[in-house]
Structure 1
Amino acid sequence: MFLSRTPVLPTPEQALRGRSERSFAVPERHTVLGTPLLGPYPKGLQTADFALGCFWGAERKFWQTEGVYTTLVGYQGGITPFPEYEEVCSGLTGHTEVVRVVFDPAKVSYERLLKLFWESHDPTQGFRQGNDVGTQYRSAVYTHTPEQAATAEASRTTYQQVLTRSGLGTITTEILPAAPRTFYPAEGYHQQYLEKNPGGYCGIGGTGVSCPIGIAKAE
């Protein structure tokens, strides 16, 4: 049974060595939005990184959000440089599956993206999300500014209070600076996967508990 496994993050000594450059090409444009995946991006946009389980379904949640300029999926939070999908799935890179969201803060706030993040998965499950088990499915927020970090931490505290009142468990989401945790774009077939494969697998699902906004403000 999948629940009998106990995923463990690798140590630097155990992690795969990786490579010095990416071993595959990444598409230039977003399949749905038509915007550049890797940039350059228009001035004034901001970047946010979220991990909430299988990145196929997670990415669609964000590209459907008004104010999001582009999205792409990749690997972050680990050790192995320039990993490939099979390596990440082995559990020996330390990375988790991440959606990078480039957004216009004049149209959608970082706080509202956090609300979507919390409500689109169960952040109490540790190294799994539903039937998907492994360190690559852990919940994480990788922040790009001190303001993002403060807002994410406050949002986690607020949502934990709501989950506790609902009889649910403790949030296991890691909130860490994006640098030096390099984001490595995933292979082309993973980008906007559910647009290319409408009947494809989407393993993410929320707790059914809403996350308030307008409370968890950065101070």
Structure 2
Amino acid sequence: ASDEAVTAWEKMRELWAVTNPASTNFSFLQEQLLSGDAWIAFDHTSRLAGAFNERPDDFIAFPAPAGPTGRGFMPVIAGVAIPRTAPDMDAAKALVAYMLKPETQIATLRATNFFPVVDVTLPGDMPPAVKAAGDAVAKMSGSADANPGLLPAGLGDKGGDFNRVFVDSFERIVLAGQDIRMVLDEQKETLRAIMDATGAPCWAPDAPSTGACPVE
């Protein structure tokens, strides 16, 4: 509910004036790029692959734009674990080792546009979507003003409630035209209750917290 947050929502209103009003129902934005319903799209790399692969000469990939606190983007950190109760520990370890092989990671990239989590040398015959997104991701993550933000963690079964705070804020501020400061002050209390109930500590780019992440 900071002054900077008010400015951000003012910018969102400005952008919404030139946004397809049906976009609240869009899912994989590759479909709207191919149909012409969207000319500029922000989405997960895997949800844009179809557009690049079908018409590679018609689209370009670019890094996330920079804002007042840097070039914000969300890397997804995925982990693999084996339960202590696994019936065949050796087979489970073998599966993990197989999944982390460079050739397996490259095959996963070809099929899903999810980039490798280990160091690999990509072959020259990768799909157009991989080449386009790979260059953009490399520029974005390697930029001097890179500002990665992690996925929310520690929310348990309150994850949906957490997301709802931001959806409700968007609907009230952008779609309904309500006063930004009023909405943020109200939603701040809803968000604080969620954080206090879960005890979830802050995640990047916020500084670490002792106990529940404070809502300011």
TM-score for both structures, normalised by structure 2: 0.23
Decide which structure has the larger Cα Rg and report it.
2
Instruction: Normalising by structure 1, report the TM-score.
Output: 0.22
Pick 1 or 2: higher relative contact order, CA cutoff 8 A, min separation 6: 1
Q: Decide which structure has greater helix share.
A: 2
Give the strand-richer structure, 1 or 2: 1
